[in-house]
Amino acid sequence: MKPNLITAQSEGPLNDICFAVNHYISTGDHIGEGVGFETETAWVLNIPVNPNLRDDVEDWEKLKSRLNLLVREGGADARLEPALSSPASLVLYTLTIPKDTVRPFCRALMEKPGSRGWGTGKFAMDNTWGVHRQLAVARVAGVWIGSVQPAGGGDVRAALEGKIDPTVLSVGTQVPASYWWDGEEYYLDDPLFGPPTRFRDLSYDRSLGLHIKPMSA
């Protein structure tokens, strides 16, 4: 296995993992970048920690706090362990995530912090992209922000016709909102309605209007 440099433009699973982890600690020179590799069953991300930098140490503890909580709650099947070797002046850890759990893992990691709070990366993202709804959609989707692209109402109707309730599709694409595509799902994004929501998680009736299905997956 040869480690690969994963750049922000790659828009692959490791970028998604880097982006989620970056809410706590840096994994590369830029948000969404890092070094890792692929096995037959998992993605493995290298996380460097500089023990001489206070922010690094505190961010590392915040990441561990959230990961430990996710594992205890059954919300993540991830392994965090020291690497076999580390560069000079750094301590290297590896985060291993099964391939079939990357999306839910990233969503859970970005949904809320652990007991120690968010890392410094979260505030850097908010200061950079905080006014852009694209960031909110990426967090809900569990993907790198560059994977989220705007879509038109016509795009949504054409892609989802026959796949979801036609009333949801008709009403949902007529509201004064934004629509997004993450490569797999379409999202309704109306801040007055609530957080960005997958179209397949929406329902409609006359009394409630457009709403999120109870216990949506």
pLDDT digits (tens, 9 = 90+) for 77-95: 677 777 766 666 788 888 9
Same domain, 111 and 177: no
Tell me, what amino acid is at 215? M
Tell whether 161 and 72 lie within a shared domain.
no
d(CA 110, CA 89): 29
> 118: how many CB neighbours lie within 10 A of its CB?
19
Q: Same domain for 123 and 163?
A: no
State the pLDDT at residue 21.
95
Count of C-beta atoms within a 10 Å radius of residue 34? 26
- pTM score: 0.84
Per-residue pLDDT for 9 more than 50? no
Given this model, what pLDDT does residue 216 score? 47
| Residue 150, H or E segment | strand 149-151
As given in the structure block, the two tokens for residue 188 are 């309704």
Number of domains present in the structure of the chain: 2
For the chain, report the end-to-end CA distance as a whole number of angstroms.
Answer: 35
- In the listed set 77, 105, 131, which residue is the last one of a domain according to the structure? 131
Assigned domain for 141 exists: no
Shared-domain flag, residues 45 and 121: yes
Domain enclosing residue 156, as ranges: 149-212
Residue type at position 34: G
Check whether 4 has a pLDDT greater than 60: no
Is 11 domain-assigned?
yes
Q: For residue 152, which phi and psi values (nearest 5 degrees)?
A: -95, 160
Encoding tokens for residue 203? 């329902």
DSSP, res 8: T
Does the residue 137 lie in any domain?
no
Asked if 120 and 175 sit in the same domain, the reply is: no
How does pLDDT run across 102-114, given as a tens digit for each residue?
A: 999 999 999 999 9
Both 102 and 187 in one domain: the answer is no
Q: What is the pLDDT of residues 127-182, one digit of tens each?
A: 888 667 899 999 999 999 989 999 999 999 999 999 999 999 999 998 778 999 99
Spatial separation of the C-alpha atoms in residues 17 and 143, rounded to whole Å: 8
